[in-house]
Amino acid sequence: MNRIDPWSQIVGRLHDRPRFVVQPNPTAAMANASSIRRIEWQTTCTILVTWSDSTLGRFEDQTWRAGFARTSGICGLTGVAVRRGDPVFRPLQKGGVMPRNALDMILANTLRALQI
């Protein structure tokens, strides 16, 4: 009996398929307060955020800068809707490199209200 090994069939089929590079959706914001471990004021317009995500990794003391929302989204701390133009904190770009969570935002009023 000529029996084909199932593992060989699976591997063979994988080699025949086109290869796709899977990248995180750049429009998907963190928007999950449980992933934020710590927020600390660094200056009057910057905070340090420690957070983690199973797909994006763990970030210790990532610098976020005050600014205005460029697009609508969700506050990563509260889940509240963010409208374009709202005062927010966003991850800081360093050396022209866009961080993986570049579109995440935290409403500035939330931090001030919580006295963080």
Tracing tokens 């409403």 back to the chain, one arrives at 107
User: Given this model, what pLDDT does residue 72 score?
Assistant: 94
68: β partners: 87
Highest mean pLDDT, choosing among 17-26, 47-56, 74-83:
74-83
Return mean pLDDT, the chain.
Answer: 80
The full 3-state SS of the chain, as one line of letters, equals CCCCCHHHHHHHHHHHCCCCCCCCCCCCCCCCHHHEEEEEECCCCEEEEEEEECCCEEEEEEEEEEEECCCCEEECCCCCEECCCCEEEEECCECCECCCCCCCEEEHHHHHHHCC
Phi and psi dihedrals of 36, rounded to 5?
Answer: -85, 120
List, for residues 61-101, the tens digit of each pLDDT value. 999 999 999 999 999 888 899 999 999 999 998 888 888 88
Q: What is the pTM of this model?
A: 0.69
